[in-house]
Amino acid sequence: MLSRSQPRILWTHNDSGAGPHVLAFSPDGRLRADLRVTGAENVDWEDIALGPAASRGGVLFVGDIGDNPAQRPQIVVYSVPEPVLGGPGVARGPTAPARRLTLRYPDGAHDAEALLVDGATGTLAIVTKSFEGEAGVYVTRRLTATRPVMLTRAGRLSLGAGAAITAGDVSGDGSAVVLRSYDRAFVFARRGGEPLTRTLRRRPCLAEVDLAAEGQGEALALTAGGGAFYTVPEGRRPAIRRYAPAP
């Protein structure tokens, strides 16, 4: 996820099995920060998003939403003020205390790897993962509740067999929404400040790239205007790639 207030900062995290850390990189792959999220645990972190804040900067939302066997009775999304990075060195230490938002699906457990936050309305959306090509869209606007929140099922995406959604993002200007699978990127044009759920009902365009060549790809970050995106696959010392239209 690309920061909107700090130039050339990409936020990401490790998958399950790692500690509750958020990581910041520059697009050339230099580590800028390795910060432990205060008050969080990493059961199966899968996606990160940026939401609005009352003051300058934003809020990082980290989705502990992975559930390969579809057995978790509830999932968690953590939110923490976006850390402000200083000089050229690597920032280390704790973040500000995180808020814990506990969520439940209305129709049983699901595996999910895509977390979207609408900067205009504050809506949080989760898109489930299925190799059969049918993805559910679940939403809530209650981002600061202290008790478990029941998600609302707001739609269904039919993206074709094998299109298991592994990440998603909303551009900084809100004009584009993208969902990716292991090999493709589905781009949705957004009209004005319409709800994300309406945007996701529109027929997407396919980015003309073969993401399967990267390896196990489960991350994507749109640029501010939505005209290009960054990806990074899983693995040791993975490459950060930027895809943009040919000049």
Q: Give residue-wise pLDDT tens across range 67-113.
A: 999 999 999 999 999 999 988 889 999 999 999 999 999 999 999 99
Maximum mean pLDDT: which of 12-16, 191-195, 230-234: 230-234
Determine the average pLDDT of the residues in 200-206: 94
Q: What is the pLDDT of residue 65?
A: 98
Model confidence at 55: pLDDT above 60: no
Report the chain's mean pLDDT, rounded to a whole number: 93
pLDDT of 120 reads 79
What are the tens digits of pLDDT across the range 217-228?
Answer: 999 999 999 999
Average pLDDT over residues 229-239: 92
How large a percentage of the chain has pLDDT more than 90? 81
pLDDT: which is higher, 28 or 237: 28
Tokens of 92: 């280390």
Q: What average pLDDT does this structure show over 156-178?
A: 93
Phi and psi at residue 198, to the nearest 5°: -70, -40
pLDDT value at residue 75 = 98
Global confidence as pTM: 0.95
User: Of the given ranges (51-60, 114-123, 206-215), which has the lowest mean pLDDT?
Assistant: 51-60
Enumerate the domain spans of the chain: 10-243
Multiple choice CATH, 10-243, 2.40.128, 1.20.120, 2.130.10, 2.40.50: 2.130.10
pLDDT for position 136 = 97
Which amino acid would we find at residue 224?
A: A
Where does the pLDDT of residue 54 fall: very low under 50, low under 70, confident under 90, or very high at 90 and above? Answer: low
How far out from the chain centre does Cα 7 lie?
Answer: 19
Rounded CA gap, 113 and 123, in Å?
A: 17
Beta bridge pairs of residue 100: 78
If 0-12 CB within 10 Å is exposed, 13-18 middle and 19+ buried, where does residue 26 land? middle
> Residue 153 forms beta bridges with which residues?
138
The region that residue 211 occupies, defined by phi over 0 for left and psi between -120 and 50 for alpha, beta otherwise, is alpha
Q: Give 236's pLDDT tier (boundaries 50, 70, 90).
A: confident
CA 174 vs. chain centroid, Å, equals 14
Tokens of 10: 């990409």
Tokens 């699906």 correspond to: 105
CB 19 within 8 A of CB 67: no
Closest CA to 73 of 43, 46, 48, 49: 43
pLDDT of residue 12: 96
**What is the identity of the amino acid at 62?**
V
